[in-house]
Structure 1
Amino acid sequence: MHAPDSAPLSDPPVSLRHFRPFWWFWLTRVLLTSGFQVMSVAIGWQVYALTGSAFDLGIVGLLQFVPRILLVLVVGTVADRFHRQRIVALSMTVQAASAALLAMGALHWGFSTTRELIFAIAVVIGICRAFDMPTMQALLPSVVPPTLLAPAIAAAASANEAATILAPAAGGFLYALGAEFTYALVMTMFLLGAALVVRVPARRHISSGKAMTLEALMAGVHFIRSRRDILGAMSLDLFAVLLGGATALLPVYAGEILHTGPWGLGLLRSAPAVGALAMSAWLMRHPIQHRVGRIMFIAVAVFGLATIVFGLSSWFPLSLAALVVLGASDMISVVIRSTLVQLETPDEMRGRVSAVNSLFIGASNQLGEFESGMTAHWLGTVPAVVLGGVGTLAVAGLWMRWFPSLARRDRLIQD
């Protein structure tokens, strides 16, 4: 993989290491992601224990994703009209209340947890996630100066990856002691996060001031369509991950191809996050300053190649290494795309643009898992993964041709 052309920012006005407002934001992001990860583990275990149905597990995921589609236009407008810290705080408080309700059900305090209750909570979580994810994205540029946005996005991404690695294990351990302990931890995380986010100092948010008309709701979509570089970066990630996502098939690889069992599956699931976390730490210290378009396309191509290597490998260490490289290359693309989108978007539009971007990310991940499963059913597991990697390479080539200004872009901040 080609090393990014990077160097420390020259004479930044303030060091991220000493930039206290950002670390309040970072801690909130850790608590938000950790709470969601732990709650997902607990809900998954509990619904499977209640019903024994893998189909019900899929329903839980679907119920969490559907609100993001239905509310994509509304949440962006809300994030552009109202106090963003308060929106996140309210979302986390509602999720804390949901965790408290499930803890009470686990303890049989007046009622017991049922399949229907878990489904209802999944919808509530989906609604909250639809609001808090794009709002947090829109808030970050108001917390740090533009010169520190790229390393700040890398640092914020490291919060997600660290939570993805550690939180599910903590949730599984506590669940073994009792579901009520897991939900109590989730409730505590969300309440702490809600208390922290309202303390995040940010530059004054200028509301769009427009009524919630259809025109205002669609403004984010129209803005993305009018900015070729933003449209190219967001759609590149959507189709590359949609085709190249192999995570849904990791249980098949662990059991039938690599013959490792559950412990191997745990390592395989963690490997992309380990690569992403390491790369985010590198990018915090060495933000990419030049040839950003070329580097992003190289990163997507490396993602596709790593997918192919993983698909063909039957040697566990090589498979792990391929997934680490996959996660690292994806992080490069994520940081460049996210920074580009935030810098190119006016503050009064960031909520609506972030909402559409959040939908793209969710669609690529979750629809990618569906696509991988269906292709594996039709063609077999290995051909499905390899074909997905080839598809990612094809997307990178086509997008370089269709979005030449993005491929030629030198700096994140245009002169």
Structure 2
Amino acid sequence: MSASSTPTHDPYAALRIPDFRRLVSARICLTIATRIQGLVVGWQIFRLTNDPLALGLIGLAEAIPSISVSLYAGHVADSVRRKNIIVVTVAVLGLCALALALLASPAGLPLLSRQAFYTWPLYLVIFVSGIARGFLGPALFSFMPQLLPDRERLANAVTWNSTTYQAAAVLGPAIGGYLITWGVANSYMVAAVLLLVALGQFAAIASRPLPALEGEKPGLQESILSGLRFIWGNQLVLAALSLDLFAVLFGGAVALLPVFAVDILKVGAAGLGHLESAPAIGSVLMAALLTYFPLRRHAGRKLLWAVAGFGVATILFALSDSYELSLFLLFLTGAFDSVSVIVRSTLLHTFTPEHMKGRVSAVNNIFIGSSNEIGSFESGVAARLLGVVNSVVFGGFMTLGVVGLTAVLADKLRKLDMTPAKQEA
């Protein structure tokens, strides 16, 4: 190997690429802004309604449009320059943040007065942001590999992408919890400014042409359905996506954290920010650990044990009445979830052809991205029917059931080995 070549184990290989650094910086600002906005809107709606189901409806209001446009958005991401899609959708998200700030200002507060549908303007803005997010996800996923000069840096780029995302997810809720004390409208304005910064950084990245397509260009219907066929035809990827889908769908307690912060742990807005940040801290540290000790031998078994640990930590969190213990258990849920995120992302980037990454990412968005919001709705409904604590305990046990079922039915995932020799074979 010559002195000028990239070191095999260079932990900063991807970060040495200027456009990748811009992408990472933009995603940090984008993630912090959306996390601030998500926490603040949850706090605002719970204070307006005092109803856990209203928190679940936030997730549903974002998931429905995101799922509805996902397959078409994947087709667009493989048909239109991906940078253009990113710039437009981030601009829309910035306008949504400004709209929320206006609604929370003295001029907009009369719209949120207590009448028949007094929270509908907030849900409407969330609905629009869900459409934007549906188009943004596939474009971002498929644009990132185009910034890399070679596939040797792909695994390093995936790890940095995940680690910086989770680090931003730590900062967002923590900042949001303190910003609420400064005012809801001001909190939304901070999110809008961060989105503007992200927009500028995305705009500074050089545009890339679409990857070359082998054969004839498929029609719209064939293009939209090809992502589904690809996932369905790859049993390993399908099993990993399904495991993550149902674990997030049933096991997530994040949507109900405002209830735990206010009614159970009694720690207020600042405490809510720390509770929201705890899973992301666990994710960051686990991602950093996996950078030096990557999952290779028996990766499938380790993945199953990690998702099982996520379910157990969720159950114990629901039963805890100690703020410190609750923080630690949420930290564990994030650490265990990070294993699943990195394995799934690596499998998707490794097995998906470049010209199909937008469409496959769109299916991934339906499986995973929107399952967070649908899981929030499920949590809200379960909390209304079973009570907040019982609903989270139920979700944790359902997660354990999904792990057991996957271990029995998904033989390829259980035997997954990610050592380089096995992957090449």
Q: TM exceeds 0.5? A: yes
Partner of 1:306: 313
SS, match of residue 204 in structure 2: coil
Return the match for 1:195 from 200, 207, 212.
Answer: 200
- Given that 1:151 and 1:287 are in contact with CA atoms closer than 8 Å, whether structure 2 keeps it comes out as no
Return the match for 2:147 from 136, 143, 147.
Answer: 143
Residues 68-110 of structure 1: CA distance to partner in whole angstroms, max 9, x if unpaired? 121011100001111111110111122233444555676789x
| AA of the residue aligned to 2:168 | A
SS, match of residue 71 in structure 1: helix
| AA of the residue aligned to 1:159 | T
Return the match for 1:362 from 354, 358, 369.
Answer: 369
| AA of the residue aligned to 1:404 | D
| AA of the residue aligned to 2:84 | R
Partner of 1:326: 333
Larger deviation, residues 243-252 vs 175-184 = 175-184
Alignment of 1:193-232 (within 5 A): 193-200=198-205, 204-206=209-211, 208=213, 210=217, 212-232=219-239
Partner of 2:164: 159
- Given that 1:133 and 1:358 are in contact with CA atoms closer than 8 Å, whether structure 2 keeps it comes out as yes
In 2, Cα distance between equivalents of 1:151 and 1:174:
34
| AA of the residue aligned to 2:128 | V
Distance change in 2, residues 1:373/1:36 (3 Å): closer
Residues 213-259 of structure 1: CA distance to partner in whole angstroms, max 9, x if unpaired? 22211111111000001100100101122222222343454456556
Distance change in 2, residues 1:280/1:179 (3 Å): same
- Given that 1:80 and 1:207 are in contact with CA atoms closer than 8 Å, whether structure 2 keeps it comes out as no
Partner of 2:81: 83
In 2, Cα distance between equivalents of 1:159 and 1:12:
17
Partner of 2:95: 97
Partner of 2:24: 26
Larger deviation, residues 16-25 vs 237-246 = 16-25
| AA of the residue aligned to 2:348 | V
Distance change in 2, residues 1:13/1:34 (3 Å): closer
Alignment of 1:4-403 (within 5 A): 10-11=8-9, 15-44=13-42, 54=51, 59-101=57-99, 114=111, 117-144=121-148, 145-171=150-176, 173-174=178-179, 176-177=181-182, 181-200=186-205, 204-206=209-211, 208=213, 210=217, 212-254=219-261, 258=265, 260=267, 264-403=271-410
| AA of the residue aligned to 1:214 | Q
- Given that 1:91 and 1:132 are in contact with CA atoms closer than 8 Å, whether structure 2 keeps it comes out as yes
TM-score, normalised via structure 2 length: 0.82
SS, match of residue 81 in structure 1: coil
Larger deviation, residues 10-19 vs 391-400 = 10-19
Larger deviation, residues 353-362 vs 385-394 = 385-394
Residues 156-204 of structure 1: CA distance to partner in whole angstroms, max 9, x if unpaired? 2233323333224434555655566444433332232222224335865
Distance change in 2, residues 1:168/1:388 (3 Å): closer
In 2, Cα distance between equivalents of 1:102 and 1:315:
34
Distance change in 2, residues 1:151/1:67 (3 Å): same
SS, match of residue 295 in structure 2: coil
- Given that 1:238 and 1:363 are in contact with CA atoms closer than 8 Å, whether structure 2 keeps it comes out as no
Residue correspondences, number: 405
- Given that 1:238 and 1:364 are in contact with CA atoms closer than 8 Å, whether structure 2 keeps it comes out as yes
SS, match of residue 309 in structure 2: helix
Residues 329-379 of structure 1: CA distance to partner in whole angstroms, max 9, x if unpaired? 100111011110111111111101111111222343222233334444444
- Given that 2:311 and 2:396 are in contact with CA atoms closer than 8 Å, whether structure 1 keeps it comes out as yes
Unaligned 5+ runs, structure 2: 1-6, 113-119
